[in-house]
């Protein structure tokens, strides 16, 4: 259940080394989220992420989870929910791939699709069922503005996010009225380095996305764009004729 600050008391991050996931966890811990579970492939990076959150005062556990092994999701995630209520699930895993390479080596494109879409669909449905069974909770799905209209530059990644986005919207409608809240988050390009001079104002950061997630949770938003003006840009791009749209730069 949410505490007096409107923050979940327990959090499950699918994609436990995701920078956006960890930035969100840090902000929620500051708002007194007490139990955090980081799910991902066992690795030193996952353990370092958990140790960093423990230093903030949270009880943090790691969970061995592989998005590319959907056959294991029900058992792995079922154990997490069996240990107690989970107030919020942040589905934050995903891969961008290498567009040019993956066009030449289709199995690379398949891995992008399996991670970003089929793996997310399976994990999302398992978590949605568990949240519905406990009668409350939020499922936050990290989509991408790249899914709004696929571009020549990254259509493999964009198409996988478009599928995930449509799935999450439909899941939100299916769970409406059950006590479970589904929120779709659509960031633009996310940078992890300091801003460069002349960089587009539509480029965002993990911290800004985390702030938007926390605000969206408080408002029980269904869709969040980061930064906010990206919503209007995406709407305008949908109206651009295809002969012009395909001329957008590859890189």
* Number of domains composing the chain: 1
DSSP code of residue 115: I
CATH number of the structural domain spanning residue 67: 3.40.50.720
Decide if 157 is catalytic: yes
Q: Which domain holds residue 166?
A: 10-191+199-240
Please give the mean pLDDT across all residues of the chain: 93
* pLDDT tens readout for residues 170-186: 999 999 999 999 999 99
4 part of a folded domain: no
- Annotated active-site residue in 157, 163, 182, 234: 157
* pLDDT tens readout for residues 138-160: 999 999 999 999 888 899 999 99
88 part of a folded domain: yes
47 part of a folded domain: yes
CA 180 to chain centre: 17
- Assign 196 a pLDDT band (cuts: 50, 70, 90): low
What distances in angstroms separate CA 36 from CA 90, 100, 182, 242, one per listed residue?
11, 37, 19, 45
Q: Which of 121, 142, 191 is nearest to 24 (CA)?
A: 142
Q: Count other C-beta atoms under 10 Å from residue 29's C-beta.
A: 21
68 part of a folded domain: yes
Buried residues in 219-250 as b, exposed as e (16+ CB within 10 A): eebebbbbbeebbeebeeeeeeeeeeeeeeee
| pTM recorded for the entire structure | 0.93
């Amino acid at each position: 259940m949410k505490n007096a600050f409107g923050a979940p008391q327990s959090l499950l991050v699918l994609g436990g080394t995701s920078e956006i996931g960890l930035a969100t966890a840090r902000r929620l811990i500051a708002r007194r989220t007490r139990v955090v579970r980081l799910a991902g492939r066992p690795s030193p990076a996952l353990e370092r992420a958990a140790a960093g959150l423990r230093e903030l005062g949270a009880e943090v556990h790691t969970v061995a989870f592989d998005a590319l092994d959907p056959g294991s999701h029900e058992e792995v995630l079922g154990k997490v929910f069996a240990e107690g209520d989970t107030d919020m699930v942040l589905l934050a895993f995903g891969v961008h791939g290498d567009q040019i390479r993956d066009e030449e080596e289709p199995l690379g494109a398949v891995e992008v699709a399996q991670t970003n879409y089929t793996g997310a669909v399976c994990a999302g449905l398992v978590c949605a069922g568990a949240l519905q069974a406990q009668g409350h909770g939020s499922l936050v799905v990290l989509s991408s503005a790249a899914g709004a209209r696929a571009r020549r530059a990254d259509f493999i990644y964009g198409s996988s996010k478009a599928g995930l986005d449509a799935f999450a919207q439909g899941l939100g409608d299916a769970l409406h009225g059950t006590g479970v809240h589904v929120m779709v988050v659509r960031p633009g390009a996310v940078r992890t380095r300091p801003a460069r001079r002349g960089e587009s104002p539509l480029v965002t950061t993990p911290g800004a996305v985390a702030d938007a997630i926390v605000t969206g949770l408080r408002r029980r938003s269904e869709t969040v764009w980061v930064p906010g003006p990206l919503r209007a840009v995406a709407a305008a791009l949908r109206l651009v004729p295809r002969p012009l749209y395909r001329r957008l730069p590859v890189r």
